[in-house]
A and B are shown apart, each in its own frame.
Chain A
């Protein structure tokens, strides 16, 4: 009735992680302790308040958080509809889009966080959400 292959692989991964952590622990134990380098007495002024800077930070926060999430939700939902139309078996389809939703949200958040140009990250995230949304609206 059961293969057991899934559980065996999981146990193997746990064993490898524990072994690596043990080796790491030994390295840490054997390492020579060194004093920290003296920190240069460098004083910088606090950033001056800027309303534009604050608005930019709020917008980037929205892009990283809820907007990336909504874009990922639109893409995943459209992906499910497309794959369903292609005849993919339901539970496999659901599995793929469930993991894709999380990974897309994570990926878009990282993109929104590291892309330096505000317009590019805005259009990138929103554009990726709007396209599948348009498809879904036409689909329904």
Chain B
């Protein structure tokens, strides 16, 4: 064991580490894989939003007066006054202005009039799947956060199980069988470790923040949950009863443009509009930082009150302010998003290949598990296949919300059950791979026919080209030799 990176490495510990690695992967690999696939797609959620609704009004910037005018029009149209009024400013990857209240969202035109309702059901479905696994919010966040912790546990046990993993960092053997699959799994695991460890850590940070804050609040702040986060993100003053005219909206936006022209405002938030305590916040991105933005606060008259300190406050504020962007890869434009795409696909391959190695080893040891193996292939290719089904349902049939959730989970569960009964991993893999390609092609075709006049619009063509490339790559990989699952000998039952 002279080449080991671990002192006193023993074969027993390696075996036990591998066992722990396998146990966690077998129990939770499916859910972690779904998070990896949806997370990779979620990096491009702005592009998907544009693609789903390509005819929305677009602009590079909006004037303060136009933004304020559209916001007032939406606010006045509300039957029940909203507690918060938001303006989402145009960004390079989403050049649209959106006015959002507690209950609805509309696009703003550049002349200050109100455009169509914002509507991107499939992207919302995708984001809800990645954030919450479609569970109730706090429970969903906690489960997703816990899966992030288990992904780190798998990384730790994986590295412990492979003492030569760094020495063999550039070894890659091609051919049939388990060896090339193992090399692929191990090499990608090592080289993308900075990504998948930091991504799992930041994902777990975001997901587990709520229950940790509840625990800390109950012990250190007499149960006052908001006292945990207010020193980081600032706090809202208590609401003040009494009516008032709507607060100044254009003033703070103009102030930011004039005073901080190097910053990029992303949100304007009016808190408790038309009450005596109303006040506003602008969140602005700092282009050379990882932080999601800084909060700039204004009173009702539009007078600047100061910033919270995400950009230049304590080191803790700056680190916490960077967690979201580091996780979602939206801090460096398209090049960084493409890098996250590569890393996200690598993580998905690592997870998929990990359990394929496990099943191959079982076959080699004379303990094949064709039903479980087929079930795993149903998760690996059933996830993109069912995402493609939901895309088709949203685009072609106008299904949204709970309908998409039911289609995805019932479909994936049925595919897994069917695969376990069918017990032919090779055929499950090939069938679902082909189905994924066909379903994406069909959704793409329907969407193109619906929006033929907008074919040259960047809102449409970027995702369209990406999906065409995806279908082509699925077709090419289908033509290459699939992993050998066929069991060539008589085997006992699982």
Q: Please pick, from B153, B184, B194, B314, the residue contacting A110 in the complex, using a CB distance under 8 A.
A: B153
A36–B146 touching, CB < 8 Å: no
Q: Check B156 against A106 for contact (C-beta < 8 Å).
A: yes
B212, A98: Cβ atoms closer than 8 Å:
yes
Q: A121 CB to closest chain B CB, in angstroms?
A: 10
Partner of A113, one of B23, B216, B231, B313: B23
Task: Find out whether the CB atom of B232 lies under 8 angstroms from the CB atom of A91.
Answer: yes
Q: Is the CB of A106 within 8 A of B195?
A: no
Total B residues in contact with A, Cβ cutoff 8 Å: 87
Interface bracket on A:
35 or more
B379 on the interface (CB 8 Å rule)? no
Residues on A with C-beta less than 8 A from B146 are 65, 69, 105
Per-residue CB contact flags for chain B residues 365-382 toward chain A (1 = under 8 Å, else 0) read 111000000000000000
Given A44-B365, A81-B220, A97-B212, 10 more contacts at CB 8 Å?
A1-B311, A6-B318, A13-B194, A21-B346, A23-B170, A36-B179, A64-B20, A101-B212, A113-B24, A114-B17
CB of B152 within 8 Å of the partner chain: yes
A93 interface residue per 8 A CB criterion:
yes
Interface CB pairs A-B, < 8 A, 30: A4-B289, A6-B290, A17-B194, A24-B188, A34-B175, A36-B176, A37-B177, A39-B364, A41-B366, A42-B366, A43-B491, A44-B492, A46-B492, A60-B23, A69-B149, A73-B212, A76-B215, A80-B219, A91-B313, A92-B316, A94-B228, A101-B208, A105-B149, A105-B153, A107-B153, A110-B160, A113-B19, A113-B24, A113-B157, A116-B16
A10 at the interface (CB under 8 A from B): yes
Beyond A10-B290, A114-B20, whether A97 also contacts B216 by CB under 8 A is yes
Q: Is the pair B290, A77 in contact by a Cβ cutoff of 8 Å?
A: no
Give a binary string over B168-184; 1 marks a CB under 8 Å from any A CB, 0 the rest. Answer: 01111111111100001
A10→B366 contact, CB < 8 A: no
Q: Are A99 and B201 in contact (CB under 8 A)?
A: yes
**CB-based contact A27/B316 at 8 Å:** no
With A36-B179, A95-B319, A101-B212 known to touch, is A10 a contact of B489 (CB < 8 Å)? no
Contact A11–B332 (Cβ < 8 Å): yes
Most buried by B among A4, A10, A42: A10
Quote the shortest CB–CB distance from A21 to chain B (angstroms): 6
Q: Which residues of A approach B to under 8 Å, CB–CB? A: 1-2, 4, 6-7, 10-11, 13-14, 16-18, 20-21, 23-24, 27-28, 31-37, 39-46, 60-61, 64-65, 69, 72-73, 76-78, 80-81, 84, 89-95, 97-99, 101-103, 105-107, 109-110, 112-116, 136, 139-140
**A93, A102, A103, A112 — most chain B CB neighbours (10 Å):** A102
Q: Which residues of B contact A112 (CB under 8 A)?
A: 20
| A2-B311, A44-B366, A91-B314 known; A20-B191 Cβ under 8 A | yes
In the bound complex, residues from chain A placing their C-beta under 8 Å from that of B463 are: none
**Are the C-beta atoms of B16 and A114 separated by less than 8 Å?**
yes
Binding site for A on B (CB under 8 A): 13, 16-17, 19-21, 23-24, 27, 145-146, 148-150, 152-153, 156-157, 160, 169-179, 184, 187-188, 191-192, 194-195, 201, 204-205, 208-209, 211-212, 215-216, 218-220, 228, 231-232, 286, 288-290, 311-320, 322, 326, 331-332, 336, 339, 342-343, 346, 363-367, 484, 489-494
Main secondary structure of the interface of B (DSSP, over half): helix
Closest chain B residue to A140 by CB distance? B219
Closest 10 CB pairs of A and B: A36-B177, A113-B20, A91-B316, A4-B288, A42-B366, A92-B316, A36-B176, A106-B152, A34-B175, A102-B204
